[in-house]
Amino acid sequence: MGPFDAVIHNAGIGYYGRSRVETEDGLSDVFAVNVLAPYLLTALVTPPERLIYLSSGMHHSGDTTLRDPQWTRRPWQGSQAYSESKLYLTALAMAVARRWPSTLSNAVDPGWVPTKMGGSSATDDLQAAPVTQAWLAAGDDSAARVTGSYFHHQQPRTPHPATRSRELQDRLLEYCAGLSQVGFPVG
């Protein structure tokens, strides 16, 4: 199909009131969908001009150790598993920005919005939620043509400091490569 102009990694699984669910491969479905799938899709496509990864403000509570990302040795805590998956996804966006300098790679917190996943008590604006990712995918102004940033409502925000750690990024890429048997290509 050739290269894409932009890819938005928008799929995600929440945690609300559910126990740990395994994929056929024995992986936590939260990790598989929120982290491994975007890793694989990124690793297998021709690098596009722009990549956008949907994160969450909850990534700030993620454990940065990568000690048990599948939750096989820890008692399941859905909220924490979700937070960690979004921390790893944000680190993936930063790793791609570092490794593929010709691709604009950014993470977005769309806000806590009233969707099936966000629930009816969510307080953010549903109409504003998709604006930032669309702007990063197609915007021509200089503010949208950046890489290695984290945004909320078209404004740069500070991500968890660990997401910018080369060590965490490389360990995450190695971990995903080991799970998938697909190495991350050189940019």
Catalytic entry in 15, 39, 53, 86: 86
Is 116 among the residues known to form the active site? no
Percent of the chain at pLDDT exceeding 70? 88
Task: Compute CA distances 88 → 26, 106, 121, 141, whole Å.
Answer: 19, 13, 26, 28
Task: Check whether 187 has a pLDDT greater than 80.
Answer: no
Task: Check whether 121 has a pLDDT greater than 80.
Answer: no
Percent of the chain at pLDDT exceeding 90? 78
**How far, in Å, CA of 68 to CA of 78, rounded?**
13
Q: Are 38 and 89 in contact (CB under 8 A)?
A: yes
Catalytic entry in 15, 39, 82, 175: 82
**pLDDT tens digits for 74-114?**
999 999 999 999 999 999 999 999 999 999 999 999 865 44
Closest CA to 108 of 6, 2, 31: 6
CA-CA-CA-CA torsion sign (21, 126, 137, 89):
negative
